[in-house]
Copies of this chain bind each other. A is one copy, B any other.
Amino acid sequence: METLRERKKRRTRESLLRAALELFTTQGYEHTTVDEIAEAVDVSQRTFFRYFAGKEEVAFAVQNITEAAFVAAVRARPPHEAPMKALRQAFLEGWDAIRETVESLVPVELYLRMYRTIESTPALLAAHLRRSAATEETLARLLAEREGVDVDTDPRPRLAVAVFAGVIRVTERQCSLREDFGPEALRTLSAAYLDQVGSALTGNWRAA
């Protein structure tokens, strides 16, 4: 059971989150000040910083949840599955469950708009890539444990995850530039790209 105090806190936090994403996606991240966000929710600037460590953190609050869901999805894959296959399946099949979690916090449409804002704002893109790097490390350790190899002496877990993440990055970027950006487009395109990695590495592109 949630006490009144906790309810108020949660409401303030979610209000700040929604207000921030709304402002970021409409007038741009750089042109939005923390004061504006605080004012929109009618709290002091100091209070904003009590809920979020910084302007950047609020921009990634939803991403935090989807990332955690993805890692959990990988963890839930059957242990006999090959590493790359586990990553692939978790990514392709996880989207529907993630969608619900997101919707309980903010409209999915706002989430997608925020995604585009991240891709097109240098400061946010940088933060996104660093956060992805952290997730990659988590995944590498996860796969290493699954397969019973030592992540510090065997480079294969990190290599596999790096390649997977690289492909997803290309997909994300491609999708965020297209009009039909959504879970379905992301799924079909990433599936296609994951299939093509092999030929991209070894193939003679001019042959076709």
Task: Give me the interface of A with B, judged by CB distance under 8 Å.
Answer: 82-84, 122, 125-127, 129-130, 133, 147-149, 154-160, 162-163, 165-167, 169-170, 174, 192-193, 196-206
Contacts and interface: CB of A to CB of B under 8 A. Distances in A.
A160 B130 contact: no
The binding surface of chain A is classed by DSSP as: helix
Contact of A147 (B159, B163, B205): B205
Nearest to A56: B126
Contacts of A133: 125, 129, 169
Q: Which 10 A-B pairs have the closest CB atoms?
A: A162-B166, A129-B129, A126-B130, A156-B200, A126-B126, A159-B200, A166-B166, A147-B205, A160-B200, A158-B170
Contacts of A167: 159, 162-163
B83 A205 contact: yes
A23 to B, nearest CB: 22
Pick from A158, A167, A174, A193 the residue with the most CB of B within 10 Å. A158
Contacts of A160: 200-201
Contacts of A129: 126, 129-130, 133
Contact of A162 (B82, B83, B147, B170): B170
